[in-house]
Structure 1
Amino acid sequence: MDSEGSTRAPGAVEPVMSDRVVTVPNALSLLRLVLVPVFVWLLVFEHAYGWSFAILLVSGASDWADGKLARLLDQSSSLGALLDPAADRIYMIVIPICLGVRDIVPWWLIGVLIGRDLLLLAAVPILRTRGLTALPVTYVGKAATFSLMYGFPFVLGGQIDNWLGDVFHPIGWAFLIWGTGMYVWSFVQYWWQVVLVVRHVPRAR
């Protein structure tokens, strides 16, 4: 599950959320959270590009696997619904900042990505006045997050001093540029939804 949430086809059965804590998906989400400080240490302090790249690959694989396993094993839980997007959000903030510190990604791009998320948070109080906590997810937002989650690791992999770095570098920047463009466009979509909510949904009592 990516940080933009998930969408379902009309008529699809919603997963039943349980109060279970010890599940395979929750363990994978927790692993991703634990790997955050490890990633920061390896990249910022040890300059270990190869190991940092490996951690991002493992994190990306676990991000895909936890949602898949939650459905296959019928282990959707309320805790998992919080852990998974929280881990995604933390990665989307920590990874670009660390890449900026190492001069791998320009700070203006980092500012665009983080600024977009902060401006989206500004919509939460507005939605709450209408009795809402979230907006319908857009496929552009999901595609943007997907592209960025792959773009950052491959841009980092481009720093590896061998032929793999030469291959990863253009792939990473292709994902990153495309993902950033969609990230900004999804911001416009979400705020247009906010405008429609303000116009057509009465204030909650």
Structure 2
Amino acid sequence: MSNSTAPTGWGVWTWPNLVTAVRLAGIPLFCYLLLATEYYWQAAVVLAVGGGTDWVDGQLARRLNQVSKLGRLLDPFVDRLYILTALLALTYIGLLPWLFTIAVLLREATLVTMVIVLRWHGFAPPEVHFLGKCATSVVFMSFPVLVIAGLVDSAEAWAAPVGWALAWWGLGLYWLAAFVYLRQAAGLIRSKHARAHVAA
């Protein structure tokens, strides 16, 4: 939940956190439907709704003035968990190639390393920008479409090209956004070194 207003407390019992908790409950439901049943359309719907409503809790927090520390931590965690769960589940059943999965995981590892380095230098992580949000949305939108393409025979003709177009285009945007974040991080670190050099 991105908001310029600093949260005033943990605020566990809020409507935005309830929405986030419901979204979190959709992850095991998606896995069950996909891996243990043949309700593939339902699995795709749960995945699309759970991941595609990531903006709802943020909007509620701002409109109801219920921004909380827990929400700031839980919301991005659930977003990332949806992506990683869908990525690994679809790879496990053969709907995604390992090349695609490794590329996404490597990008995530790169950004985690960047955040650690920034923290070590005394900086907060860069603000999420539009390109990053757009890239994440496109990558995620491909997952429910690929579920339908790979497991619902009657939908393969239209779902496969749409799903793969979203997946590969999204992956490109995903890495482009990562390079923007890395450039921002490098600029912050260079500016710190430059100030230290001037002070010396």
Relative to the length of structure 1, the TM-score reads 0.84
> C-alpha offsets along residues 134-154 of structure 1, whole Å, 9 cap, x if unaligned?
113332211101111211112
1:26 is paired with a residue whose SS is helix
> Which range moves more in the overlay, 55-64 or 109-118?
55-64
Which structure shows the higher helix fraction?
A: 2
- Relative to 1, partners in 2 of residues 1:64 and 1:160: Cα closer, same or farther, differing over 3 Å? farther
- Relative to 1, partners in 2 of residues 1:160 and 1:129: Cα closer, same or farther, differing over 3 Å? closer
Question: Which residue type is aligned with residue 71 of structure 1?
Answer: R
Displacement of 1:184 after TM fit? 0.9
Aligned match of 1:99: 90
Aligned match of 2:5: 15
- Relative to 1, partners in 2 of residues 1:134 and 1:23: Cα closer, same or farther, differing over 3 Å? same
Query: Contact 1:28–1:62 at 8 Å: present in 2 too?
Result: no
Aligned match of 1:146: 137
Q: Which has the larger radius of gyration?
A: 2
Structure 1 runs not aligned, ≥5 long: 9-13
> Which range moves more in the overlay, 124-133 or 113-122?
124-133
Displacement of 1:177 after TM fit? 1.6
1:122 is paired with a residue whose SS is helix
In the aligned structure 2, how far is the partner of 1:200 from the partner of 1:133?
A: 14
2:150 is paired with a residue whose SS is coil
1:54 is paired with a residue whose SS is helix
Tell me how many residue pairs correspond in the alignment.
194
In the aligned structure 1, how far is the partner of 2:79 from the partner of 2:37?
A: 24
> C-alpha offsets along residues 63-100 of structure 1, whole Å, 9 cap, x if unaligned?
12212222222222111111110001111111111001
> C-alpha offsets along residues 169-203 of structure 1, whole Å, 9 cap, x if unaligned?
33222221211000011121222222222211149
1:76 is paired with a residue whose SS is coil
Displacement of 1:133 after TM fit? 2.6
Which portions of structure 1, spanning 4 or more consecutive aligned residues, are displaced by more than 6 angstroms?
A: none
- Relative contact order (C-alpha < 8 Å, sep 6+): which is higher? 1
Query: Contact 2:40–2:152 at 8 Å: present in 1 too?
Result: no
Displacement of 1:54 after TM fit? 1.6
Percent sequence identity is 33
RMSD of aligned residue pairs (Cα, Å): 2.2
> Which range moves more in the overlay, 39-48 or 160-169?
160-169
Query: Contact 1:159–1:169 at 8 Å: present in 2 too?
Result: yes
1:104 is paired with a residue whose SS is coil
Structure 2 runs not aligned, ≥5 long: none
Aligned match of 1:179: 170
In the aligned structure 2, how far is the partner of 1:36 from the partner of 1:72?
A: 26
Displacement of 1:161 after TM fit? 2.7
> Which range moves more in the overlay, 99-108 or 124-133?
124-133
Query: Contact 1:29–1:62 at 8 Å: present in 2 too?
Result: no
Displacement of 1:61 after TM fit? 4.2
